[in-house]
Chain A
């Protein structure tokens, strides 16, 4: 385990990681509340993007419905808390199990029957949309009028039931993001990680070498789903309200995958870099448009779309790989290699 996690990172890579972590750990001491909420959002997208990246970046299975697992995780934990007083950490177990089972069903249906490529992507959308409309009609979970967690003014932070100030969530999400980075690195360097990349590059070739393609793809879907549902738990307890129309909506799925794609698909740091760039850009855009009095709804989204267009036209492999090469981090870790070329 130690070998997988630690070996092969160059010394200045550790230094950069340590400095960044130290800066982020100290940040709440000197930044204002607004920036804290922005950083929480960044960590959330970075974490969810890392989870999605396992499926797409490592194993090559394009999911466009990851909001499904966020939503299932959020509703599982929030439902248990609201109705039965079960704490979120136990609820997290339920969230992981439920989304894991759903992922097994989806993966089994798709991979057993050879549903791949675009069809698989659309199947993931279909599952998420099915859940969105389904949850709209579950009275027990508030249906379309929403599920609300009790809120009050907090003086202290209750870590056990996740009731507290934003700073608590700040540190939780930061830890979550860093843990995910470690998990992803171990997965990528494990035997399974090599199998995944073989499948991503050429599924038939991988199969002919004796790799159990079905099993490996199932692992990717389930691990990715389980990790994403944990993000959902924190989502529920941070925002304290859940609406099927919002949580399961396809735009949530798209938000999750933009970070890794902008940052660099299949890389370890790409999803994190992408989350930083996108969220800061988006927040900065809001401020900028207010300065220029362009407050009509939709103006921000239009610029967002144009920015996406520019990035995807000019930097098809994402922002991180060229940076990794420039920093000399690409040699051993393979972070600078474009991995998504079509043969």
Chain B
């Protein structure tokens, strides 16, 4: 195979990986602060994807524009979920939390199945076949737009957590739960905000991803797992780590699809996860806690 093929595939993988990274960022933020493993992550993304599909097919709204309202809607969903359902489970054992979110995921997947049916749906925009050629390398326009949007959103989130007062309060909750209570932070509200922000990441990522892949109700669990893999690979609680993990997985999948068979591509992601768990359990950019 010519070298250009490899470069094209790698760049495509990096750009898709950035969108994966944004999705995983949501999971990382939620787990890093609330200490809840969101087993409904991929399912929430599927909801966002279907909203984007409907907005496009009914009102001809571009998913890239819809990103903001969809993220806002998912923020509301996430806030309500955390405030109403998950907050009472904060001190419950892990398997209890797991069942709670699995139940939520089950309801989400099957409601989508009832509403939209099992068939794949997709969005065909006017630019879906465009591409740029830079020095002999072909870059898919859609992937370039979504990748750029993912980077911008991640940077905005990073700034929010570093600079805004709310962001700093959320980090305080993550660092020391009791301490945060002592200094008078409304931890339950901040947890709900955090879950909302995580859900908003998923919402934005979902409306981008709808441009790249077809959506079916059954997509959810696979993407939940993918988000886990990315977060653990990159390093839990590290925001750049989530993006890096996303890019790594994106490239791994793209290369596996090219060199082996596309149907086996996620096997390589799992292999990567196992390797990282063994040699650097805290993830590539994570801080060692032990």
**Chain A residues packing against B (C-beta within 8 Å):** 56, 62, 64, 109-110, 113-115, 117-119, 121-123, 125-127, 129-130, 133-134, 136-137, 144, 250-251, 254, 257-258, 261, 265, 296-299, 301-302, 304-306, 308-309, 312-313, 316, 340-342
A117 CB to closest chain B CB (Å) equals 7
User: For A123, what are the chain B residues with a Cβ–Cβ distance below 8 Å?
Assistant: 273-274, 277
- Cβ proximity bits B250-290 to A, threshold 8 Å, 1 near / 0 not: 00000000000101101100110110011101000000001
Residue in contact with A340 in the complex, picked from B95, B113, B261, CB distance below 8 Å: B95
The answer to whether A113 touches B266, judged by C-beta atoms less than 8 angstroms apart, is no
Residue in contact with B111 in the complex, picked from A127, A302, A309, A316, CB distance below 8 Å: A302
With A119-B281, A133-B264 as contacts: A298 and B111 at CB distance below 8 Å: yes
Give the docked Cα–Cα distance between A118 and B232 (Å): 11
User: For B104, what are the chain A residues with a Cβ–Cβ distance below 8 Å?
Assistant: 305, 309
Answer whether residue B93 sits at the interface, using C-beta atoms and an 8 A cutoff: yes
Give the docked Cα–Cα distance between A217 and B105 (Å): 30
Contacts beyond the supplied A125-B228, A341-B93: 11 A-B pairs with Cβ under 8 Å = A56-B95, A115-B277, A127-B270, A130-B267, A137-B261, A250-B225, A251-B221, A265-B95, A297-B113, A306-B107, A342-B93
The answer to whether A133 touches B267, judged by C-beta atoms less than 8 angstroms apart, is yes
15 interchain pairs, CB-CB under 8 A: A56-B95, A122-B232, A123-B274, A126-B225, A126-B229, A261-B99, A265-B95, A301-B106, A302-B106, A305-B110, A308-B99, A308-B103, A312-B103, A313-B100, A342-B93
B236 CB to closest chain A CB (Å) equals 9
The answer to whether B114 touches A296, judged by C-beta atoms less than 8 angstroms apart, is yes
**Residue of A whose beta carbon sits closest to that of B281:** A115
Answer whether residue B109 sits at the interface, using C-beta atoms and an 8 A cutoff: yes
**Residue of B whose beta carbon sits closest to that of A317:** B96
Give the docked Cα–Cα distance between A105 and B95 (Å): 24
**Size of chain B's interface in residues, with CB distance under 8 A?**
45
Answer whether residue B179 sits at the interface, using C-beta atoms and an 8 A cutoff: no
The answer to whether B96 touches A305, judged by C-beta atoms less than 8 angstroms apart, is no
The answer to whether B96 touches A312, judged by C-beta atoms less than 8 angstroms apart, is yes
User: For A125, what are the chain B residues with a Cβ–Cβ distance below 8 Å?
Assistant: 225, 228
Residue in contact with A302 in the complex, picked from B99, B114, B270, B271, CB distance below 8 Å: B114
**Chain B residues packing against A (C-beta within 8 Å):** 31, 37, 85, 88, 91-96, 98-100, 102-107, 109-111, 113-114, 118, 217, 221, 225, 228-229, 232, 261, 263-264, 266-267, 270-271, 273-274, 277-279, 281, 290
Give the docked Cα–Cα distance between A297 and B116 (Å): 11
User: For A110, what are the chain B residues with a Cβ–Cβ distance below 8 Å?
Assistant: 277
The answer to whether A316 touches B225, judged by C-beta atoms less than 8 angstroms apart, is no
Give the docked Cα–Cα distance between A56 and B277 (Å): 21
User: For A254, what are the chain B residues with a Cβ–Cβ distance below 8 Å?
Assistant: 102
With A297-B118, A299-B114, A305-B104 as contacts: A119 and B37 at CB distance below 8 Å: no
The answer to whether A305 touches B106, judged by C-beta atoms less than 8 angstroms apart, is yes
Give the docked Cα–Cα distance between A152 and B110 (Å): 36
Give the docked Cα–Cα distance between A74 and B232 (Å): 31
The answer to whether B277 touches A299, judged by C-beta atoms less than 8 angstroms apart, is no
User: For B88, what are the chain A residues with a Cβ–Cβ distance below 8 Å?
Assistant: 313
List the 10 shortest-distance A-B pairs measured between CB atoms, nearest first: A298-B110, A305-B106, A298-B113, A305-B107, A308-B103, A301-B110, A309-B103, A130-B270, A133-B267, A302-B110
User: For B114, what are the chain A residues with a Cβ–Cβ distance below 8 Å?
Assistant: 296-299, 302
The answer to whether B99 touches A119, judged by C-beta atoms less than 8 angstroms apart, is no
**Residue of B whose beta carbon sits closest to that of A125:** B225
With A316-B92, A340-B95 as contacts: A129 and B264 at CB distance below 8 Å: no
The answer to whether B273 touches A126, judged by C-beta atoms less than 8 angstroms apart, is yes
Give the docked Cα–Cα distance between A144 and B261 (Å): 14
Give the docked Cα–Cα distance between A296 and B117 (Å): 9
**Residue of A whose beta carbon sits closest to that of B107:** A305
Give the docked Cα–Cα distance between A316 and B37 (Å): 18
Residue in contact with A64 in the complex, picked from B85, B98, B110, B279, CB distance below 8 Å: B98
With A126-B274, A298-B111 as contacts: A340 and B96 at CB distance below 8 Å: yes
With A121-B94, A126-B229, A342-B91 as contacts: A302 and B107 at CB distance below 8 Å: yes
User: For A312, what are the chain B residues with a Cβ–Cβ distance below 8 Å?
Assistant: 96, 99-100, 103
**Residue of A whose beta carbon sits closest to that of B117:** A297
User: For A341, what are the chain B residues with a Cβ–Cβ distance below 8 Å?
Assistant: 93
The answer to whether A113 touches B277, judged by C-beta atoms less than 8 angstroms apart, is yes
Give the docked Cα–Cα distance between A52 and B156 (Å): 44
Give the docked Cα–Cα distance between A119 and B94 (Å): 11
User: For A113, what are the chain B residues with a Cβ–Cβ distance below 8 Å?
Assistant: 277-279, 281
B69 CB to closest chain A CB (Å) equals 26
With A126-B273, A261-B99 as contacts: A340 and B263 at CB distance below 8 Å: no
B33 CB to closest chain A CB (Å) equals 14
The answer to whether A114 touches B263, judged by C-beta atoms less than 8 angstroms apart, is no
The answer to whether B277 touches A130, judged by C-beta atoms less than 8 angstroms apart, is no
